[in-house]
Chain A
């Protein structure tokens, strides 16, 4: 792993113990310039994690707790008549100056608000009254969905879930991790000890480097075969979209960069495959499998590029 990433990871692990994998994946998604959907029960440290990341990487952190009465204008800002100047002036919303946005319980927001957020995430700009305002760079949204007590809420439709780069789950800590957490919180809050170890500029540069990582034809071929196989799988109703394939490549590249390489491998694709694709696959209604089975099945049956098309590897 790259030393700079190690440093960031070490800082974040001061507050969240035993969740190294998920933290690495969130950081990887950050490098791939994508957004994260956290599917989690309350109280496992989503907010703490987001705060820790924003402190370690020197990002501007904003948090929106979604409820049914949060309006789109709360996110993207609004124009208000200013009596003194005699014109409309723009009041920025939560998105405008955020580098890291934690949208908590996005499924509780109205669909209108959800759409506003997702458009902003995709375009990386907001438009209010015909004026377009670019968002900060980098911009990472971590949205959480909470399936507990979900009555009367609106889960994100498939088309909108597709826009998140990865869907992750923190899950409960194990015994050792929880003991450590409890011990750490006896005195001061460890979140205050998180130091900034990476500047915003360094992060942007890292994102650029991750974009420059080479994906050779063999890798692209593997991604294509994986996604096509997912569309043809017997248990699958809607398979992985082309955007999913694009995201898979991007995430694999970022993973390769985190691992300290300047080329993506089949293993990179496999490592990130479940996180990138789990929320993009809709199973048939009468299907007995769950999504994880299907994805594992795909990984098992589709020949990985190490073994497949040896000619293609050496072009």
Chain B
């Protein structure tokens, strides 16, 4: 059998093993203490501790577990009195919905539940019900837009500047110390300064993407241009090419693979940074989505978002890789 097919089969196998492992790690069997119906003995126990049977059934229907109802019974109030006092919520009880039983026991959603959330979200991925309730793909588009703008701007600056650095040793020596110092700064460290100066969250996050994706492209472009084989440049000179022709017909295609490699590194970093940046600035974006779901303790939606982030990062990387392959050459 073909080794590639073998490899793919093995990765499918790993996936299945992971899902099964995940399922059992988070699996909580439906116990009698939870669920929508109380057994006769449980009702009897509640009635003896002072709760009317109708109230017990109503609380169950509201989604409370047996142990919770037991505690309510311990308070010694009827359901009507509790409602007057502000409902069971004011006593610190929360009612679960749907799969509450599953989460309540382990705290972590199983694959089935995440699958349900994925299905729900993707059946209407672009809905917009106010600032804190938007579809995951809509949030994703906000993030992609920021990355596209920041990355595009960085490309516009890095290409010509990198060319200049690669062509002129004087320029390279002059700018190198600045690049070396600016390059290792975490892009998020710029965020407060950007917010203060630009006074706009959207523009600040685009700036942060710009500043983090410019360095790999700048360094790679200048390296690629500087290491073009001297024979090729000499050939161009003997053909009396203009400076423009030399740059675009010899140096650019020769340096293209190195430049695209820089772009590939940049887009990867940009995608890493946008999530963190959006957690900081809030409002919109996939990073904010993760943070918002964390605040609502919707672990299943968080997992969905993490999955989406990974897939999109992969797609971005592959698309630049396709370009890279198109312009690559063997010498």
Verify that A and B bind, or say they do not. no
Which residues of chain B have a CB within 8 Å of any CB of chain A?
none
Using CB atoms and an 8 Å cutoff, list the residues of chain A in contact with chain B. none
